[in-house]
């Protein structure tokens, strides 16, 4: 259930019997012809669909992440690593004060990896709590389904092109040569934009929705399994 549909008293009642909670982490950044909020949309949706049958609360997605490479693309937002880890620390502290002790961070953006290290550091000082950092799209079973569909799976290509991230006017399926992500990490933002042009890392821009929904069901099931296993 979404925290947005709960009152504070309902949260207090919930934590008397169960201390699990889910927090999606996203980013607002260029995704070629897809929504700037793609990472946030996907992280929150997979978290809600995974947690809903279990009755575990899900917070709204944290919509901003660490995305300095895309600052050459208008609309993209980044926060500094120190800012982001401070924010995640404050969120975890607040969740603990609310009575939550088992916290699943469902991450939708590769740049947010420092939050995973932060979670381990936070548990060092909060040994009565457990935090799991879950990259939903590259978890074992989900990534296996992705690669079995198309090994050229990367940023802003078919892998993120779902009916709920696709906008009116999103170009039909097309293919672009793959870009080396390691090369991008050596460039300032304006050079990244020049290299990427439309913003995609390459490969096909879209695959049939039936294939995408099959991958999605694996992702939801795998995420739900992490919540259930606690």
Whether the Cβ atoms of residue 131 and residue 92 lie closer than 8 Å to each other: yes
Give the number of other Cβ atoms within 10 Å of residue 38's Cβ: 27
Determine the pLDDT at residue 173.
86
Whether the Cβ atoms of residue 75 and residue 28 lie closer than 8 Å to each other: yes
Task: Spell out the residues 6+ positions from residue 99 whose beta carbon is closer than 8 angstroms to its own.
Answer: 11, 12, 15, 16, 19
Can you give the CATH number for the domain in which 217 is found?
A: 3.40.50.10310
Q: How high is the mean pLDDT of the chain?
A: 97
pLDDT band at 6 (very low <50, low <70, confident <90, very high): very high
What is the tens place of the pLDDT at every residue in 136-184? 999 999 999 999 999 999 999 999 999 999 999 888 889 999 999 899 8
Provide the residue range defining the domain that includes 84.
3-228
What is the tens place of the pLDDT at every residue in 97-131? 999 999 999 999 999 999 999 999 999 999 999 99
Determine the pLDDT at residue 136.
98
What is the tens place of the pLDDT at every residue in 33-59? 999 999 999 999 999 999 999 999 999
Whether the Cβ atoms of residue 24 and residue 64 lie closer than 8 Å to each other: no
Task: Work out how many domains the chain is built from and give that number.
Answer: 1
């Amino acid at each position: 259930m979404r925290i947005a549909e709960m009152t504070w008293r309902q949260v207090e009642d919930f934590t008397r019997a169960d201390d699990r909670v889910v927090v999606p982490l996203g980013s607002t950044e260029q995704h070629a012809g897809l929504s700037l909020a793609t990472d946030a949309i996907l992280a929150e949706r997979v978290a809600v669909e995974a947690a809903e049958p279990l009755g575990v609360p899900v917070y709204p997605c944290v919509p901003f992440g660490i995305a300095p490479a895309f600052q050459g693309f208008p609309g993209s937002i980044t926060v500094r690593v120190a800012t982001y880890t401070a924010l995640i620390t404050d969120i975890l502290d607040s969740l603990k004060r609310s009575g939550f002790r088992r916290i699943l961070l469902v991450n939708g953006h590769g740049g947010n990896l420092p939050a995973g290290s932060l979670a381990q550091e936070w548990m060092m000082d909060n040994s009565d709590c457990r935090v799991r950092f879950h990259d939903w799209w590259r978890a074992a079973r989900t990534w296996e389904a992705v690669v079995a569909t198309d090994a050229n799976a990367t940023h802003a290509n078919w892998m993120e092109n779902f009916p709920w991230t696709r906008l009116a006017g999103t170009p039909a399926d097309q293919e672009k040569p793959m870009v080396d992500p390691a090369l991008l990490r050596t460039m300032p933002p304006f050079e990244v934009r020049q290299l990427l042009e439309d913003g995609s890392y390459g490969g096909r821009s879209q695959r049939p929705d039936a294939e995408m929904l099959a991958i999605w069901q694996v992702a939801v099931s795998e995420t739900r399994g992490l919540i259930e296993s606690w």
